[in-house]
Amino acid sequence: MAKSEKEMGMLRDHLAKHQLKLTRQRELILDAFLKQEHITAEEMYHQLAKKDPHLGLATIYRTLNLFCEAGLAQARHFGTQTQYDNISHKGHHDHLICTGCGKIVEFENCEIEKLQEEVATRNGFTITTHRLELYGLCSRCRH
């Protein structure tokens, strides 16, 4: 609870800057969110049902979107649902996804990121975010 100082600070900053309030729900959801690598609103809804059975799904959606605006999370469409990635710990990262078993491996590659910038510049764009997903089979599923 006291270990998420940095993230709590980022949230407070964002709230202050936009005249928003720090609520019990927002603290609760932040706590749960920081323990995850990526999670959907629905998953979090079920997880938190134990701690607060009255917490509404709409509040979870609202709060996760707030985290995105505060720079703590990043939304990513995966399949039919939206995954909220925790970027506060390890920063931005991309994904290798096994279409056989659903396994997800996270990676970072500075060279790729650099080339992306070049492509953007060449086309007159300024990149704010990106998304790179590699789909295939992991070593186990290949056999």
Partner DNA sequence: ACCTTCTTGAGACGATTTATCAATTTCAAT
Partner DNA sequence: ATTGAAATTGATAAATCGTCTCAAGAAGGT
Q: Which residues bind DNA (CB under 7 A)?
A: 15, 19-26, 40-42, 52, 54-59, 61-63, 65, 77, 80-82
Q: Do β-strands 38-40 and 73-78 pair in parallel, antiparallel, or remain unpaired?
A: unpaired
Q: Which is nearer to a second copy, 29 or 64 (CB)?
A: 64
Q: Which is nearer to a second copy, 19 or 139 (CB)?
A: 139
Q: Which residues contact 45 (CB under 8 A, 6 or more apart)?
A: 55, 57, 60
Q: Which residues bind a second copy (CB under 8 A)?
A: 77, 96, 98-99, 105, 107, 109, 111-112, 115-116, 119-120, 123-139, 142
Closest approach, Cβ 129 to Mn ion, in A, equals 9
List Cα–Cα distances, 79 to 14, 41, 53, 82, 127, in angstroms: 30, 14, 28, 8, 24
Instruction: Tell whether residue 141 is a contact of Zn ion (CB under 5 A).
Output: yes
x-or-dash string of contact with Mn ion, 75-94, rule CB under 5 A: -------------------x
Of 61, 6, 5, 3, residue with least CA distance to 29: 61
